[in-house]
Amino acid sequence: MSLKIIREPINKYIQKIPLGLIHVIPERCKECGYCIDLCPKDVLTVSEERNIKGYRWPKIADGKASECIACRMCEWICPEFAIFVVEADRREYE
């Protein structure tokens, strides 16, 4: 008896990993690094540019563009209300 008889979950092809679109407010950032350190997917890194106070805000690292799974850890931990995530449909982008 082959393994194929074992039932597949009926929602296997409907299940999708959420995609997060990261929004940043650069003027508020103070470069504490919490969003970058705590991202479970290591999506974020510091930008090259600096804001008016000399801090580098978070940006998406190279090659990590579609890695965000919208867990919102960065949004919750940010002391400055400077980053938030909007959930999108992954199928529209891939």
Partner 1 sequence: MSQKGLVIKEKIVSESPRDHLIRKERFPHIWCPGCGLGTVLKCYVEAIAASSIPEDKHVVISGIGCTGRIAGYVRLDSYHVTHGRPIAFAEGMKIVRPDLEVTVISGDGDLVTIGGNHFIHAIRRNVDINVFLVNNFIYGMTGNQMGSTTPLGAKSSTSPYGCPEPPFNLPLLAAALGAPFVARWTTLHTRQLAEAMKKAFQVKGFALIEIISPCPVGFGSYNELREGKDYIKLFLENCIVDHSADLNKAAISLRPGEPIILGNFIQREMPSYHDFELEVFKKAGWLK
The conformation of residue 8, written as its DSSP 8-state character, comes to P
Residue 70: what are its φ and ψ, rounded to 5°?
A: 60, 45
- Asked if 35 interacts with partner 1 (CB under 8 A), we say no
Residue whose CB is less far from partner 1, 50 or 66: 66
- Asked if 46 interacts with partner 1 (CB under 8 A), we say no
Structure tokens at 72: 């919102």
Q: How far is the CB of 21 from partner 1 (least distance, A)?
A: 7
Residue whose CB is less far from partner 1, 50 or 80: 80
Instruction: For strands 58-60 and 44-46, give the pairing.
Output: antiparallel
